Amino acid sequence: MSDIVIDPTTPKASRLQRLRLGRGPTTVAAIAIVVLFALVALLAPLIAPYDPFAVSPRILEGPSADHLLGTDDTGKDILSQLIYGARVSLLIGLAAGLGSLVLGIVVGGIAGYVGGAVDNVLMRIAEIFQIMPAMLIALVIVAVIGRNTTLIAAAVIIALWPQSARIVRSQFLALRRAEFVDAARISGTPAWRIIALEIFPVAFAPAAVQAALDIGRGMLLEAGLSFLGLGDPSTSSWGGVLRRAQPFLTDAWWFSVPAGVCIALMVLSFNLIGDAMGRRGTQGRRAL
């Protein structure tokens, strides 16, 4: 996603409306899918038909009345694993979106408002992270510090924050010399109040768009780490299901396909939501 710059002459009241979503059918469908999976994750203990780690002698059994999505190579119920896996995927995805947003706002805000050498140093650090694939960064961090859910979430945040920082920086650079900011500065308003009350509300909207995209990216990174065997071994995850399903792709389609569909639907849904937020903001700027 390219840096988004808001016109500094735009009235603040108009800028703060940029987070509204369009009401197109794809956006509505994406939101519905996210809400559905969120409910599944919250109600997992109530709706999962089996313990996701409970083994049975019914190995690689196809979908049936007892096991709606069949069983895996150890007799575990696949539907139950996917239901509990939604918790891990959404938790890490939301942590990635929120964490990268917060880190991006702090780093990008300081770089854009202070400028000079501070800006150069912070942006060079961001560029170092950006030139490396996010999966490689997350993989190295998890391999070094450990692989429980908290550490995986931290690794994903570290891999994703630079884009948010660059977006926030671009907003601060554009707005720090805006008329309403100069007026606040001349009136003696402290720098922290200018940042918090004048610039931040304007810079937040485009950063929030990137955060929505980062949720999907975070979920994809978590699935990739689990697929490579670096997921949390104490939890059930969609990527872990896919990893165990590899030897049985041709013989047991029910083992891999549902997990792949879940990952694809969630990542696509958050991408569509982020795209809708971005398009809404662009339309708002053109209308002004």
Q: Is residue 47 part of a domain?
A: yes
Per the domain annotation, does 101 fall within a domain? yes
CATH code of the domain containing 186 = 1.10.3720.10
Domain span at residue 219 reads: 22-287
> Structure tokens of 280?
């809404």
Q: Is residue 244 part of a domain?
A: yes
Task: Tell me whether residue 130 is in a domain.
Answer: yes
Whether residue 16 lies inside any domain: the answer is no
On the CB side of 64, CA atoms within 13 Å amount to 10
Residue 56 lies inside a defined structural domain of this protein: yes
CA dist 210 and 80 (Å) reads 32
CA–CA separation, 270 vs 93, rounded Å?
10
Q: What is the pLDDT of residue 13?
A: 41
Task: Please check whether residue 17 lies inside any domain of the structure.
Answer: no
Provide the residue-wise pLDDT of the chain in tens; the chain has 288 residues. 444 444 444 444 444 444 555 568 888 999 999 999 999 999 999 999 999 999 988 899 999 999 999 999 999 999 999 999 999 999 999 999 999 999 999 999 999 888 889 999 999 999 999 999 999 999 999 989 888 899 999 999 999 999 999 999 998 888 877 787 778 778 877 877 888 887 888 888 889 899 999 999 999 999 999 999 998 888 999 999 999 999 998 889 989 999 999 999 999 999 999 888 877 554 444 444
Q: Tell me, what's the pLDDT at 127?
A: 92
- At residue 176, the pLDDT reads 79
Residue 41 in any domain: the answer is: yes
Total number of domains in the chain: 1
